[in-house]
Structures are given as C-alpha cells and as structure tokens.
Amino acid sequence: MAQRKPIRRLLKKPIKLEDKLKNTDKLSGQIQEQEKESVEFSFNELHSQVANAFGNSADLKFIEGKRDERNIIIVFLESMVDATSLKETTSKFLSSISQKLQPLNNVDELSSFCKEVFGGASYKIVNGSDETINAIINGSIVIFVECIDKALAINMMNGEKRSVAEPTSQTVIRGPKDSFIESISTNVSLIRRRIRNKNLHFEQYTIGEDTQTSVYLGFIKGIANEAIVQEVRNRLKKIKVSAIFESGNIEELIADKTFTLFPLALNTERPDSVAANLIEGKMVILIDGTPFALIVPAVFVNFFESPEDYYQSFFLGSFLRMIRYLSFMIALLTPSLYVGVLTYHHELLPTTLLLSVIAQREGIPFPAVVEVLVMELTFEILREAGVRMPRVVGQMVSIVGALVIGQAAAEAGIISNIMIIIVSITAIANFVSPIYSFATASRLLRFLLILFAAILGLYGVLIVLVAMVAHLSSLRSFGVPYLAPIAPFIIEDQKDVFVRFPFWTMKKRPKYLRAESEKKVFTSSPPSPPPMKGGNTS
C-alpha cells in the first residue's frame, strides 16, 4: 500500500491524454489544462524519484548516456514498450547524440534533434511529474537531458496483440468473418476500412483512475443525432471509477436505468455490424482491451436483428427474424404455460392430449411447478458448467447431462417425458437470440413467470407479461424509447422490424434515431431487366 500511495497522489485528477495512434487522424481535442501544482522532478534525483513513484517496479528501466558533461537519462517501462524498436532507437539516439552534430541546449533543439533521429515516431514534450509518469505508463520512453527542464516522450507502445480471428459469439454463415480483438487501434481500423468517410469521428476518453483505459466514442457526423451524441459524451464524462476492463462495465455505468433485465446497449464483436449501425445513425463505444464494442442507443427490436438478415434474401431474412421473435416467446413462456395449464386450466388441453399427459405423469412424485423448477435449474447448472469447463471436459458435461438428466430421470419416473421436451424446447429457443446478453431477460424472467403461474395460473402469467411490457415501454436508451418503432408506433420504421423489406425500399434511416440526414438509399427503384429489344415490350 505504501508504495502505491505516491501514484494515487499524483493521479488525483483524471487526465485526458492526446493519443498518437496513427489510425486516428481526426481527434477532437480533449486535452485538459495540466495543473501546475504537480511536483517537478529535479534531474539529480530523477532516478530515485521516478523509481519511487513506481515503487521500484521491476519493469522500470533506465538507460543513461552523456553528452557535453550533461547526463541523459531515458526512462521507460520495459513491459510496455516494444523491445525491437526500443533497441534500435535508443542505440541510434545515443550514438548520434554523442556525435555532437547539433546543439542541445534547450527543449526546442532537443525536439528538432529527435525529429531527425526518430523520423516517424510520435513524440511529445512532457512537463512535470504527472505528465511524465503518464507518458511512461502509456508506453513511451521519456528522455531527460540535464539542464533542460522539459522532457521528451516518444511513444513506443508495444504491439502485443492477437491477430484478427473469426467471431466466436456472433457467427454468421454468409458474411464477413473478422471480429474485433483486444487492441483498440486494430478495432478502429476494422471499422474505418468499412466506412471510408471523413465524417466518421472517434473521440477519445480515458476512463478508470487506476486503469487509464482508452475509450473511443465513434459516430458519423451529419448522420448521428447531435443531441444523442452529446448525451453519450456527457455520460462518458461523468464516469468516475477506478477500473474498466470490459464494455459491460461501461454499459452499466452509462445506461439510462440499471434496474432492468433488458440490455440498453447492443454489444457486438462484429465490425460489420458496428459499421451498419453507424450508418443507421447510432454511436459506437470501443474500449481498449476487449473485443466487444457497445452500440448505442439500442432498442428492443435491435436484439432480434442479425447482420445476416441483410446478407440473405429478404424472404429468408424476414422469416428468420420472425422465428427469433417466436423463440423469444417460447423461451419466455413455455415452462410457465406448462405449469399454468397443467395445474389450473386442464380444460384448455384437448381430451386426448390431456389423457396422454395424465398417463405420463402418473406416479411422478413432484407437483408440476417443482418439476419445472428442478429441471430448469438443472439445465442452468449444466449450461454454466458447460461454459466454465475446460473445453475438453465440456463435451463430457453435455453428454452426461443429456443422458443422466434426460433419460435416466424420465425412466426412473421422477420427471415426466413431456417435461424434458418442455425444458429442451425452452433451452434451444433461448439460444436463438443473436445477442447473447439479451437472452438473460428471458432466462431470468422465466422463473418469475413460473412462480406466478404456480400461484395464479394463466392469470398470473398475464399479469407478469403486462407488467413486463409496461416496464419495457418505460425504458429508454439514451432518450430513445426502448420499444421505439412499435410503441410509440412509427409506421415508416416498420420496414425493418418484424420483417425485412428489400433494400431498395429502405430509403430512410430509422426515424426513432432522429438522424440528422434521413435519406439512406439514393436510388430507390427496384432492379429490373433491361428493356427487351425487338420483342413484345408492351
């Protein structure tokens, strides 16, 4: 603790850094005025002071050189800088500096010298301990020269990252196969390669007092609604936490309402999906260190859209979308309807079905509701085990689960066969959701519904459903009503809700996003064959 204290003191105020990444050509200024009260390093005690600040971290390295009796110290964090370029540049720097070709008496001279030596690398003059330490943390090497009160920071962040791979959680059959990775610069480049438009802006925020995570807010100026963008900006600025590791953290911190089961921001690892949403007029929030980007504002119907809807024939796209809505209802309602009908409304079943269900349930010791709860919980346990298990063991779990729980329980007469069907249908339907986080709603609400079905039958189910719809209609995502094109009903937006219309009919952006420019498709006629020559054209 004692060692960390100095840093805490130094980093009292959140600092916005200007980023030097090559891919972000358009940065809007987020630099705050540095507070001048920060401690100045004195060159003589530099070594110990910096080492103190970092608590003598093992990866803090110093390289020392000399020119004209003036000491030169290069400080950097070994873990953050690129080893090869470091080696190359420092040797180059040290060798050329000793050749005394240029005067090196003030910071201007130092910087012009560095310009020559380091060619393309981005550098920055730092002043004071705060800036210096920040530069070091962010992977720069900082060059101190005796008698010059300012230092020079050269960014040499190492590029340790995995390569772009196929998405793992949002797969498609037809469509781009790349997905985001943990490096934010790569992610930005993946988006920018899809939208080559100067109006695509990325604004940088540094969030997390301890983690100093870079967060980018991306939007297309002239399309995204200014008011909503401003709202997102404000919310990002308001965040004051110590650590951000994943988009989920940000999502919870900027959502309009956190006491809800429904996600108020879309998360995706697909750059094509992000690009499509940007074009619609939404915003994207990228977080360094996670392959999941947030798309805001998100409305209910967005969670039933897969990018593939737009890559396939619109008939199939529409059909699949309706299947998804159906699956959501199935996943949400089947177990509770089972309980409600079997224990309260026997009359709803046709006679033969009722008799066959009675025959099946003969001798089952549990009431229907207990049976359902036991099986649903068992399934949730199996599922969680399947996700957390090492991949090799995972398959075993599914086999054991299917065999033991399914067959054996039914054969032993503990669980009825129809129950197994219900649980399986529910489970499979739950996996249909294209955005994984959305399934949580149906996963958890299901239990509430089962409870109410057990108490009040179908009436209870309906009470919960109405309450759920009311809750949904009270939600907003960055000011946009969550059930937007349905309630409030917007007739123009119905082209892309339950069915997907052909592209040439979708001339405008969704109205609920209040985009700055509404028009999307400029040619608006359906494709037609060229007029026939010589034939009967009438």
Partner 1 sequence: MKYKTLVQVSVMVLILSGCWDHRELSEITVVVGMAVDKGDNGKYTLTIEGINAKELSDKTSTGFAPSIFYALEGDTLAELSQKMNVGISKNLIYSHMKVLVISEEVLRDGLIDFLDFLERNREIRDDFNLVTTRNVKAADILGVTYLVQKSSSLKLHTQLNSLVESWGGDPNIRLNDFIQAYTSAGKRGVMAALTIQGDPEKGESVENMKKVKPDALVVVDSLAIFKHDKLGAFLPLEDSRNYLWIINKLDKTVLTVECNKDKFLGVRIFNNKTKSKVSLIKGRAVINLRVNGEGYLDSTQCKEDLTQINTFVKYGKLTEKEIKKNLEATIKKLQQEYKADIFGFGEMMYRQDYKNFKRIEKNWDEYFEDAIVNVDVNVKLRRSGVKTKSLFSEKK
Partner 2 sequence: MKMEKENISLSQLLTLLINFLLGSAIVVGVGGSAKNDAWLAILLGGLIGIVIITLNHFFILRFPDKNMFQVFEFCIGRKITIVFTFMYIVYFLYISCRVIRDFGELMATAILPNTPIEMMSLTFCLLMGYIMYLGIEVLARTSEIFTPYLFGFLLLLAIFLFASGSVEFEQVQPILGEGIMPVIKTAFTELVFFPFGEIIAFSVVYTSLTNKKYSLRVSILGVGLATFLLCGSSLLMIVSLGVDSVSRSNFPLLSTARVVSIGNFIERIDAFVVFIIMLGVFIKGSMFFYAGLKGLEYIFNLPYRYFAFPVSMIISLFSILVSVDFADHIQEGIKLVPYYLHFPFQVVFPFILFLLVMWKQWKGKSKGEEHGSKKTNSQIIKETNKT
Chain residues in the site for partner 2 (CB under 8 A): 344-345, 347-348, 350-352, 456-460, 462-463, 466-467, 469-471, 473-474, 481, 483, 486-489
Least distance between partner 1 and beta carbon 421 (Å): 16
Closest alpha carbon to 15 in 137, 143, 149: 137
Partner that binds at residue 199, options partner 1, partner 2, none, CB closer than 5 to 8 Å by kind: none
Closest to partner 2 by CB, 410 or 463: 463
Closest to partner 2 by CB, 350 or 526: 350
Tell me if residue 159 falls in helix, strand or coil. coil
Contact 498, 485 (CB under 8 A): no
Q: Using N-to-C axis directions, what is the helix angle for 314-343 and 368-388, rounded to 10°?
A: 140
Q: According to the binding rule CB under 8 A, does residue 337 interact with partner 1?
A: no
Q: According to the binding rule CB under 8 A, does residue 461 interact with partner 1?
A: no
Least distance between partner 1 and beta carbon 290 (Å): 35
Q: Binding residue for partner 1 (CB under 8 A) from 451, 462, 468, 490?
A: 451
Q: According to the binding rule CB under 8 A, does residue 364 interact with partner 1?
A: yes
The kind and range of the H/E element at 294 are strand 293-296
Q: According to the binding rule CB under 8 A, does residue 454 interact with partner 1?
A: yes
Q: Binding residue for partner 1 (CB under 8 A) from 84, 105, 106, 356?
A: 356
Partner that binds at residue 463, options partner 2, partner 1, none, CB closer than 5 to 8 Å by kind: partner 2
Closest to partner 1 by CB, 92 or 345: 345
Which segment (61-69, 191-199, 356-364, 436-444) binds partner 1 by CB under 8 A?
Answer: 356-364
Centre a 10 Å sphere on the Cβ of residue 97 and count the other Cβ atoms it contains.
22
Least distance between partner 2 and beta carbon 352 (Å): 8
User: What is the distance between the alpha carbons of residues 277 and 267, in angstroms, rounded to a whole number?
Assistant: 11
Q: According to the binding rule CB under 8 A, does residue 126 interact with partner 1?
A: no
Extract the tokens encoding 69. Answer: 């009796």
Contact 132, 7 (CB under 8 A): no
| Greatest distance between any 2 Cα atoms in the chain | 102
Q: According to the binding rule CB under 8 A, does residue 346 interact with partner 1?
A: yes
Q: According to the binding rule CB under 8 A, does residue 39 interact with partner 1?
A: no
Least distance between partner 2 and beta carbon 460 (Å): 8
Q: According to the binding rule CB under 8 A, does residue 368 interact with partner 1?
A: yes
Q: List, in sequence order, every beta strand (DSSP E) within 42-145.
A: 60-67, 70-77, 123-126, 140-145
Closest to partner 1 by CB, 457 or 481: 457
Q: Which residue has the tokens 């985001």?
A: 180
Q: According to the binding rule CB under 8 A, does residue 343 interact with partner 1?
A: yes
User: What is the distance between the alpha carbons of residues 213 and 204, in angstroms, rounded to a whole number?
Assistant: 10
Closest to partner 1 by CB, 309 or 371: 371
Extract the tokens encoding 246. Answer: 């994943």
Closest to partner 1 by CB, 356 or 395: 356
Q: According to the binding rule CB under 8 A, does residue 239 interact with partner 1?
A: no
With vertex at residue 255, the alpha carbon angle to CA 292 and CA 476, rounded to the nearest 5 degrees, is: 120
Residue-wise over 353-371: b if at least 16 C-beta within 10 A, else e?
A: eeeebeeebeebebebbeb
Q: According to the binding rule CB under 8 A, does residue 298 interact with partner 1?
A: no
Least distance between partner 2 and beta carbon 459 (Å): 6
What residues pair up with 143 in beta bridges, in sequence order? 74, 152
Closest to partner 2 by CB, 283 or 298: 298
Q: Which residue has the tokens 């989920």?
A: 248
Partner that binds at residue 462, options partner 2, partner 1, none, CB closer than 5 to 8 Å by kind: partner 2
User: What is the distance between the alpha carbons of residues 21 and 477, in angstroms, rounded to a whole number?
Assistant: 31
Q: According to the binding rule CB under 8 A, does residue 347 interact with partner 1?
A: yes
What residues pair up with 142 in beta bridges, in sequence order? 75, 153
CB-based contacts of 479, cutoff 8 Å, min separation 6: 227, 228, 231, 256, 297
With vertex at residue 222, the alpha carbon angle to CA 217 and CA 226, rounded to the nearest 5 degrees, is: 60
User: What is the distance between the alpha carbons of residues 440 and 260, in angstroms, rounded to a whole number?
Assistant: 11
Closest to partner 1 by CB, 141 or 342: 342
Extract the tokens encoding 219. Answer: 């939007």
Least distance between partner 2 and beta carbon 453 (Å): 12
Extract the tokens encoding 70. Answer: 């003036």
Closest to partner 2 by CB, 94 or 462: 462
User: What is the distance between the alpha carbons of residues 345 and 453, in angstroms, rounded to a whole number?
Assistant: 11
Least distance between partner 1 and beta carbon 260 (Å): 16
Q: Binding residue for partner 1 (CB under 8 A) from 28, 242, 351, 523?
A: 351
Least distance between partner 1 and beta carbon 375 (Å): 16
Partner that binds at residue 356, options partner 1, partner 2, none, CB closer than 5 to 8 Å by kind: partner 1
What residues pair up with 345 in beta bridges, in sequence order? none
Q: According to the binding rule CB under 8 A, does residue 410 interact with partner 1?
A: no
| H-assigned helices in 99-244 | 107-118, 128-137, 184-194, 226-238
Q: According to the binding rule CB under 8 A, does residue 338 interact with partner 1?
A: no
Closest to partner 1 by CB, 6 or 406: 406
Q: According to the binding rule CB under 8 A, does residue 466 interact with partner 1?
A: no
Partner that binds at residue 364, options partner 2, partner 1, none, CB closer than 5 to 8 Å by kind: partner 1
Tell me if residue 50 falls in helix, strand or coil. helix
Cα dihedral 101, 105, 109, 110, rounded to 10, equals 90
User: What is the distance between the alpha carbons of residues 270 and 296, in angstroms, rounded to a whole number?
Assistant: 15
Q: What one-character DSSP code corresponds to residue 341?
A: H
Closest to partner 2 by CB, 218 or 457: 457
Least distance between partner 1 and beta carbon 48 (Å): 54
The kind and range of the H/E element at 385 are helix 368-388
Using CB under 8 A as the criterion, which residues of the chain lie in contact with partner 1 when the complex forms? Answer: 342-344, 346-347, 351, 354-364, 367-368, 451-452, 454-457
